[in-house]
Amino acid sequence: MTERVLEVHHLSKTFGKNVVLRDVDFRVDTGDVTCIIGASGSGKSTLLRCINMLETPTTGAVTFHELDITSRDVNVSQYRSQVGMVFQNFNLFSNMTVLENCMVGQMKVLKKSRAEARKNAMQYLEKVGMAPYINAKPRQISGGQKQRVAIARALAMEPEVLLFDEPTSALDPQMVGEVLAVMRTLAKEGLTMIIVTHEMAFARDVSNHVVFMANGVIEEEGRPEDIFGAPQKALTKEFLSRFMQG
């Protein structure tokens, strides 16, 4: 039986006079892989940042197990340990090794011992194929490897939901596949994920729910076979005709 984990209610976000999000509503159930697609500037990344409280919604709410995480008395660090995020540009600590990057959050936020944090970090670094590089600094590894470390770091916090903000857009084409392969594995294992992506084939094949955004609103959403196979809205059809290849 699926359980509602996260819900966005009538969320809007403005920066000065610029309206980036308008009255956005959607829900995520346990095990959902939700891909958010749309052109640059459609509000996708801002929506993800609002869900993770890196941006404060102007109006509306985000609920996690029916708790409004926009309320002032919510411990945002604790919430972020349950709803993790993988960024476009990795955001690794340059002065720390691969292993230390995956340990620090566990020790500071989850209050794990160094030994426990190390054991957990090693488990996830092995999972993403980065265990041989535990003593490397970020400058010594490739972009694809950095992103796999970033995924391991997020997984080491053992989140209930993992957010991905265009995780392959900063990578060279040959590195994209190695990151998507890790994400495919996570999807098969049942991790609840919300993924902002421009990888249309990945969105079509891996998600069970697709959200198409345009001009700060959800223009169309549904099952991938419906959105990609029989889109109803003109903007969706136009977008997919430009971005789907083959």
* pLDDT, tens digit, 9 for 90 and up, residues 163-204: 999 999 989 888 999 999 999 999 999 999 999 999 999 999
Phi, psi of 112, deg, nearest 5: -80, 155
The tens digit of pLDDT for each residue in 32-56 reads: 999 999 999 999 999 999 999 999 9
Q: Does the pLDDT of residue 80 top 60, yes or no?
A: yes
User: Rounded distance, CA 144 to CA 163, Å?
Assistant: 18
pTM across the whole model: 0.93
Q: Are 178 and 170 in contact (CB under 8 A)?
A: no
Please list the residues that pair with 221 across neighbouring strands: 211
Percent of the chain with pLDDT over 70: 98
In angstroms, how far is CA 8 from the centroid of its own chain?
15
Instruction: Answer whether 43's CB lies under 8 Å from 49's CB.
Output: no
Report the DSSP pairing between strands 217-222 and 209-214: antiparallel
The pLDDT value recorded for residue 173 is 86
Q: What is the pLDDT of residue 116?
A: 97
Confidence check: pLDDT of 106 > 90: yes
Report the pLDDT averaged over residues 203-225. 96
Residue 99 confidence (pLDDT)? 97
Q: Determine the Cα–Cα distance for residues 15 and 190; give it in Å rounded to an integer.
A: 36
157: left (phi over 0), alpha (psi -120 to 50) or beta: alpha
Single-letter code of the amino acid located at 239: F
Q: What is the mean pLDDT of residues 209-230?
A: 96
Give the whole-angstrom CA distance, residue 60 versus residue 24: 9
Can you give the pLDDT at residue 245? 53
Residue 43 backbone zone (phi > 0: left; psi -120 to 50: alpha; other: beta): left
What residues have CB less than 8 Å from 113, skipping those under 6 apart?
107
Of 18-22, 125-129, 240-244, give the lowest mean pLDDT range: 240-244
Residue 2 has pLDDT above 80, yes or no: no
Average predicted confidence (pLDDT) for the chain? 93
With cut-offs at 50, 70 and 90, classify the pLDDT of residue 219: very high
pLDDT at 246: 46
